[in-house]
């Protein structure tokens, strides 16, 4: 009887230990980039059990926004403003989502602007860095399942726009694509000239063409298979909601399967926090397929 009581006690201690186990979050990591000729910071969330096992995990590349006002947008944003690590710990512990690694690179260029793209002046070719250096190094340093079915990408605001553009140009890499309040827009002269001073406008017009997501979709054949699961969400008080609705209509007109959400909210962290459970569940379900 004493032996059974002892074993039961050990079982419940182990169970409590498991229940209390949390993932780890580190925002002090750095990758040296030859392409950018500078160090790039990143944050990483490692799920519960990562340190105590040899298991490999699916990975979500999560891009930060370029704002909103009164925030410091960088690789820390999703935890500093979105408390993402706390939600991941809770949702994983409850079995609501699968354990996953989540990585956010810093796309802040010398505090001048946020850019996920190869800039027209070639002074910050972030997209080349992301695909040629960042992803390969991350998936070499950490125990990541490196097939497409276990790799997802998501982002908010400018990070949402980059998410869609990366998905289009790198279809073979991502199984699930989640864009929140994506900054999808047609070419806007004043905005582009202000963002890239000194670059001739004709060069800016040509440079922007491959970054116009809606135009890309509009020119696809009907019922084109993207080979990815798309999730698009935007707040109804966000000035970008019309553009996101138009993108949804373009996808629907082409018969391209996707999930689309318009909920109450603005272009801010309050909204992105509110949709975090839904989009992470979508990512998790994609990993299960």
Q: What is the pLDDT of residues 6-24, one digit of tens each?
A: 433 443 344 344 455 899 9
**Whole-prediction pTM:** 0.90
Helix (H, G, I), strand (E, B) or coil at 126: helix
Q: Which of 44, 52, 43, 45 is nearest to 21 (CA)?
A: 52
With 90 as the cut, is the pLDDT of residue 235 above it? yes
| Whole-angstrom distance, CA of residue 79 vs CA of residue 30 | 17
Reported as a pLDDT band with limits 50, 70 and 90, residue 111 is low
Q: Going along the chain, which residue ranges are E strands?
A: 24-33, 38-46, 59-63, 101-105, 108-109, 113-114, 151-156, 176-180, 229-235, 259-263
Fill in the DSSP letter of residue 65: -
With 50 as the cut, is the pLDDT of residue 40 above it? yes
106 vs 201, more confident: 106
Q: 23-288 maps to which CATH number?
A: 3.40.50.1820
Domain boundaries defined on the chain: 23-288
Count of beta carbons in the 10 Å neighbourhood of residue 232: 25
Q: Is the peptide bond before 68 cis (omega within 30 degrees of 0)?
A: yes
109 vs 178, more confident: 178
Reported as a pLDDT band with limits 50, 70 and 90, residue 48 is very high
Query: Which pLDDT score is estimated for 13?
Result: 42
Query: Which pLDDT score is estimated for 189?
Result: 72
% of the chain exceeding 90 in pLDDT: 70
With 60 as the cut, is the pLDDT of residue 134 above it? yes
Specify the residue for token string 């007109």. Answer: 253
Query: Which pLDDT score is estimated for 7?
Result: 37
């Amino acid at each position: 009887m004493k032996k059974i009581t002892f074993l039961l006690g050990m079982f419940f201690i182990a169970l409590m230990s498991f229940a209390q186990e949390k993932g780890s979050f580190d925002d002090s990591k750095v990758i040296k980039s030859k392409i950018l000729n500078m160090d790039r910071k990143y944050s990483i969330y490692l799920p519960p059990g990562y340190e105590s096992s040899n298991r490999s995990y699916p990975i979500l590349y999560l891009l930060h926004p370029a704002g909103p006002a009164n925030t410091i947008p960088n690789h820390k944003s999703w935890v500093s403003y979105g408390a993402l690590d706390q939600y991941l710990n809770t949702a994983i512990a409850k079995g609501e989502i699968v354990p996953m690694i989540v990585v956010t690179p810093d796309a802040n260029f010398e505090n001048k602007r946020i850019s996920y793209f190869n800039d027209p002046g070639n002074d910050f070719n972030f997209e080349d860095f992301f695909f040629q250096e960042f992803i390969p190094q991350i998936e070499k340093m950490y125990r990541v399942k490196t097939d497409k079915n276990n790799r997802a990408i998501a982002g908010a605001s400018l990070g949402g726009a980059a998410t869609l553009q990366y998905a289009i140009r790198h279809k073979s890499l991502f199984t699930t694509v989640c864009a929140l309040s994506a900054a999808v827009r047609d070419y806007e002269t004043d905005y582009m000239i202000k963002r890239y001073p000194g670059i001739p406008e004709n060069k800016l017009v040509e440079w922007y063409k491959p970054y116009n997501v809606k135009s890309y979709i509009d020119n696809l054949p009907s019922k084109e298979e993207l080979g990815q699961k798309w999730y698009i969400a935007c707040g109804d008080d966000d000035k970008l909601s019309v553009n996101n609705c138009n993108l949804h209509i373009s996808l629907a007109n082409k018969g391209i399967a996707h999930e689309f959400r318009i909920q109450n909210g603005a272009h801010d962290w309050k909204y992105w926090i509110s949709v975090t459970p839904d989009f992470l569940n979508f990512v998790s379900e994609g990993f299960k397929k």
